[in-house]
Amino acid sequence: MSKKTNIDPATLQQVFGQTVFKTLLNSIPENASIGSSVSTFQFIRHVEDYIHVEVKKLYSDAEPPKFHFISETETDMVMDYQSARCMSHVCLGLIEGCAEHFGESVKVEMTPQTEDSSVVRFNLTLA
């Protein structure tokens, strides 16, 4: 797709993540809570602790990423994204879609921790 559109793969991944967030959120059954999350940071933790765990139970061959939480305050969250799929820009887009859903403005800085970007540190700052 990148070759056909002349848009770099990272941007395509990011836009995909931004737009697919709403679809994923709407796919959560109505009787399942979204973990009483009221903020982007809470929801990201809920994804790691609950949603991606359920994804793995439902689809045994699924490989959602791991999030390692490093630190968190009211305004800052530091976490490492880890995945052999190396799709950290999908993660960026999903976080942006999530922030939009909660009506928050979140600045995201990404620092690759490995050459192949299978581990990327995310510094999130709430404006």
Report if residue 64 touches ligand HEM, rule: CB under 6 A: yes
Question: Can residue 53 be called a binding residue for ligand HEM (CB under 6 A)?
Answer: no
Binding residue (CB under 6 A) for ligand HEM from 5, 6, 27, 36: 27
100: exposed, middle or buried (C-beta count within 10 Å: 0-12, 13-18, 19+)?
middle
Only segment of 4-12, 47-55, 70-78, 111-119 that touches ligand HEM (CB under 6 A): 47-55
Examine residue 119 and tell whether it contacts ligand HEM (CB under 6 A): no
Q: Does 55 bind ligand HEM (CB under 6 A)?
A: yes
| CB of 76 closer than 8 Å to CB of 41 | no
At 64 the three-state DSSP class reads: coil
Question: Per CB under 6 A, does 18 bind ligand HEM?
Answer: no
Nearest approach in angstroms of CB 21 to ligand HEM is: 6
Contact of 48 with 103, CB cutoff 8 Å: no
Q: Is 77 in the site for ligand HEM (CB under 6 A)?
A: no
Does 28 sit near ligand HEM (CB under 6 A)?
yes
Distance separating alpha carbons of residues 30 and 33, to the nearest angstrom: 7
Q: Which of 14, 120, 111, 117 is nearest to 67 (CA)?
A: 120
89 within 8 A of 14, measured Cβ to Cβ = yes
SS3 category, 6: coil
Residues making contact with ligand HEM (CB under 6 A)? 24-25, 27-28, 43-44, 47, 51-52, 55, 62-65, 83, 85, 87, 90-91, 94-95, 98
